């Protein structure tokens, strides 16, 4: 069967306003870190809709937070583009992670599951070494795992939460990238998941927004350091995307009901809609892109 014969409805011309579910959505509180299987409607990560074209043939990729949300969509897309993929996730996310592992293996690619908590520098170093050993190298790093917990007031934001948000969103990408660069050669790519919050912070995401601004600065500064080595560093800055990060405390439940409604497209983005962006930045098709921040906000700052 040719590639053209395999194209799904997602690749046909259609109205982006109605392409995916629109609010209102039911309230659906979950305990952090949340599960894709408990979301209503369930997010589309490309499980049935993403078609690959061989743009990452035989590349070796490590994705943090690869069990769900944007990381899951990137993992599926990378495998279907021909890459071997290692994913990192919290031990409590094992069920979702194993779903991703099966999808990667279904493409005939090597899949590596590495559970652990990236707030530990020791684990971050072990994570990279394990991925390199089991994949046989490292060409692509996606720093995607993140923590987001909404609080109405600075007085509700504890030092414990503030510290954990920075450990997950800022320290971990630093530790992981530092370890990964020792194994990366010319043609390699690092992709950081930032956020629209980097530029237009919400009042309820005081700590999270600061960390996402850090991700942008880290991306641009690091790009300047490693360009002479032929390594590219970019960031993706999503707006409101339908992931467990939101329903497990990332947004108040009243915002979940109307999530994405203030964008020009009147709905949240689905993780699969970001997958091609990560593929572009990881592949040679993005060879002239470094130090860039690629936005995907539905046409409008959502908060």
- Active-site residue (options: 208, 278, 288, 303): 208
**CB-CB neighbours of 53 under 10 Å:** 12
Contacts of 211 by beta carbon, 8 Å cutoff, 6+ apart: 146, 165, 166, 169, 170
Structure tokens at 6: 């395999």
Q: Are 211 and 194 in contact (CB under 8 A)?
A: no
Q: Using CA atoms, how far apart are residues 38 and 253, in angstroms rounded to an integer? A: 15
Q: Are 288 and 87 in contact (CB under 8 A)?
A: no
Structure tokens at 95: 């069920």
Query: In the annotation, is 171 catalytic?
Result: no
Contacts of 6 by beta carbon, 8 Å cutoff, 6+ apart: 51
Residue 236, judged by CB atoms within 10 A of its CB (0-12, 13-18, 19+), counts as buried
Q: Using CA atoms, how far apart are residues 154 and 203, in angstroms rounded to an integer? A: 9
Positions annotated as catalytic residues are 208
């Amino acid at each position: 069967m040719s590639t053209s014969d395999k194209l799904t409805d997602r690749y046909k011309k259609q109205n982006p306003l109605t392409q995916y579910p629109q609010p209102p959505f039911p309230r659906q509180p979950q305990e952090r870190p949340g599960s894709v299987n408990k979301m209503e409607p369930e997010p589309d990560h490309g499980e049935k809709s993403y078609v690959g074209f061989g743009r990452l043939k035989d590349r070796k990729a490590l994705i943090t937070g690869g069990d769900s949300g944007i990381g899951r969509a990137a993992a599926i897309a990378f495998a279907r583009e021909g890459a071997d993929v290692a994913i990192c996730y919290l031990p409590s996310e094992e069920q979702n992670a194993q779903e991703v592992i099966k999808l990667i293996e279904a493409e005939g690619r090597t899949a590596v599951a590495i559970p652990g908590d990236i707030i530990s520098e020791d684990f971050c170093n072990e994570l990279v070494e394990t991925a390199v050993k089991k994949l046989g190298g490292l060409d692509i790093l996606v720093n995607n795992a993140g923590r987001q917990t909404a609080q109405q007031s600075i007085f509700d934001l504890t030092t414990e939460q503030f510290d954990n948000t920075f450990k997950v969103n800022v320290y971990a990408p630093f530790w992981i990238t530092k370890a990964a660069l020792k194994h990366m050669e010319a043609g390699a790519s690092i992709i950081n998941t930032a956020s629209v919050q980097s530029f237009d912070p919400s009042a309820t995401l005081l700590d999270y927004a600061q960390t996402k601004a850090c991700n942008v600065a880290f991306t641009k500064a690091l790009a300047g350091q490693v360009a002479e080595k032929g390594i590219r560093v970019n960031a993706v800055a999503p707006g409101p995307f339908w992931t467990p990060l939101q329903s497990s405390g990332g947004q108040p439940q009243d915002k979940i009901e109307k999530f994405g409604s203030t964008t020009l497209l009147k709905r949240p983005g689905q993780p699969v809609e970001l997958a091609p962006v990560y593929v572009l930045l990881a592949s040679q098709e993005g060879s002239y892109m470094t130090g860039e921040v690629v936005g995907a906000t539905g046409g409008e700052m959502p908060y």
